[in-house]
A = this chain, B = another copy of it.
Amino acid sequence: MIKSRSKKYIEYIATGSELLSPGFIETNSSYLAGKLEELGWKLNFKTIVSDRLEEIKLIFQTAQKRSWLIFISGGLGPTEDDRTRQAVAEILKRRLVFHKEILKNIRKRFESRGLTMTPSNRRQAYIIDGATILENPNGTAPGMWLEIRGQIIILLPGPPSELKPMVDNLVFPKLKPFQRRKFLQAVLRITGAGESWIEDRIKLIYSKLPKKMELTTLASPGDVQIRLSMPTGRDEEKDQRKLEEIKKEILNLLENKVYSTDGQLLEQVIGQKLTANKMALACAESCSGGLLANRITNVPGSSNYFLEGLVTYSNRAKVRELGVPEELIKAKGAVSEEVAAAMAKGVREKAGADIGLSTTGIAGPGGGTMEKPVGLVYIGLASSDGVKVERCLFKGQREQIKYQATQKALDMLRLKLMEIEKGR
């Protein structure tokens, strides 16, 4: 299907000066990478470029020389800084052709909302000669599909809310016939262990990996991922067995540190375990400030097992809401093993939950002392077996410390639920 041997790559170009600005997080590429994996393909390159015509042309020209499948998004809007149409047309040496029907649709869209179309929207009715129009029910910019001597070029709108449905409904059905072979992969998610500990444990695996299998590890504060991936050969079942075998060996080596092998997040894992065991949860947070409850409630259906969360930031709230003795706070300090225990016990009893989780610590940047430095967090878990508290010392910025505290709390809960499951 693909005629040119020199064009062996798949790449994505995102246009838009704002994408190169500090603070911007781009999500389309992650989405496209996931869709491509469904077809057994890997995204080879992703390039972000500004709105400037010359720069878009330069990047597109480079891509056009090396890749058989090119996605380019953004710059299809009505404004002056929307120049992708023009850049691609110039490199391909094709004209832009005016399509009356497109303008009519855009006008309709405006009128249905009681608005008047602006003259600048006329720009959006120009289509690269020879392109198939990809209709955009969620915006004014239509996409385009070009097939030129085995090379496929797809122009997409930039906003995720427009790009994603277009990719799902129009682009991938058209790409499916090009699918050649499958791609197998597995993701192991780990918490409660550092990257070097993990590397040390799994280093024996490397020599056992089939040549075409890739193993990559990815560490962030509180979380490590091991990703295995492999294109299937003639015998897909055999490849699948091999992948499972390696996965099992890693699981054995890392014991109970692996919390999911199917891409699930820790909050999803504990959600399933709580549901399966018909147990209810409540939490009392100080330093994590609501992040624990937020992560738990990000899971659809969490209202079935999550009763309530108390963010007792002030000492008064700890006393009033959770029954933590005032003298205890005075004697030991709000950041202490004893207060963490009292918080977990207090919220469990108050909410009538099976498990109570608590966090108290110093998220920083201020508030640290020699004795109790920034990053010191006590995490409590109360159950019918009593209360357990762990002392942790996390590194990083305020938000990273908050995150690691919740990761540890959820992992203590996971291990407790595993213990309960075993005991049954």
For A214, list chain B residues within 8 Å (CB): 17, 51, 81
Q: Which of B17, B159, B263, B398 contacts A300 (CB 8 A)?
A: B398
Taking the complex as formed, is A89 at the interface, i.e. its CB lies under 8 A from any CB of chain B? no
Q: Is the CB of A47 within 8 A of B44?
A: no
Is A412's CB within 8 Å of the partner chain B? no
> Are A30's CB and B25's CB within 8 A?
yes
Residues of B within 8 A of A396 (CB): 161
A18 within 8 A of B: yes
Q: Per-position contact with B for A70-86: 1 when CB-CB < 8 Å, else 0?
A: 00000000011100000
Interface size, chain A (Cβ < 8 Å): 95
A31 cross-chain contacts in B, Cβ below 8 A? 22
Q: Which of A58-66, A147-155, A165-173, A252-260 contacts B (4 or more CB under 8 A)?
A: A58-66
Q: Which of A98-106, A235-243, A288-296 contacts B (4 or more CB under 8 A)?
A: A288-296
Alpha-carbon distance between A133 and B309 when the two chains are bound, in angstroms: 50
Cα-based distance from A23 to B215 in the complex (angstroms) = 17
Is A37 an interface residue, CB under 8 A from the partner? Answer: yes
Q: How far is the CB of A181 from chain B (nearest CB, A)?
A: 18
Q: Is B23 touching A43 in the complex (CB atoms < 8 A)?
A: no
C-alpha gap A203/B79 in the complex (Å): 10
A311 lies within 8 A of chain B by Cβ: yes
Q: Note all chain B residues with C-beta closer than 8 A to A30.
A: 21-25
Closest to A221 in B: B161
B206 close to A80 (CB less than 8 A): yes
A221–B160 alpha-carbon span in the complex (Å):
10
Judge if A111 is at the interface, Cβ distance under 8 Å: no
Residue A46 lies at the interface, judged by CB distance under 8 Å to chain B? yes
CB of B59 within 8 A of CB of A49, answer: no
Q: In the complex, what distance in Å separates the CA atom of A317 from the CA atom of B297?
A: 15
Residues of B within 8 A of A66 (CB): 58
Bits for A286-325, please: 1 = Cβ < 8 Å to B, else 0. Answer: 0011111111111011110011111111101100110000
Q: Are A311 and B298 in contact, CB atoms less than 8 angstroms apart?
A: no
The answer to whether B297 touches A294, judged by C-beta atoms less than 8 angstroms apart, is no
Known A-B contacts A214-B17, A291-B294; A50 and B44 likewise in contact (beta carbons under 8 Å)? yes
Q: 11 other contacts beyond A20-B44, A308-B321, with CB at 8 A cut-off? A: A21-B33, A23-B263, A44-B50, A45-B59, A51-B216, A58-B66, A303-B314, A308-B310, A308-B311, A308-B317, A309-B310
Could you give 10 example pairs across A and B, Cβ below 8 Å? Answer: A17-B216, A20-B43, A118-B200, A118-B203, A289-B293, A289-B296, A293-B311, A303-B314, A308-B312, A317-B351
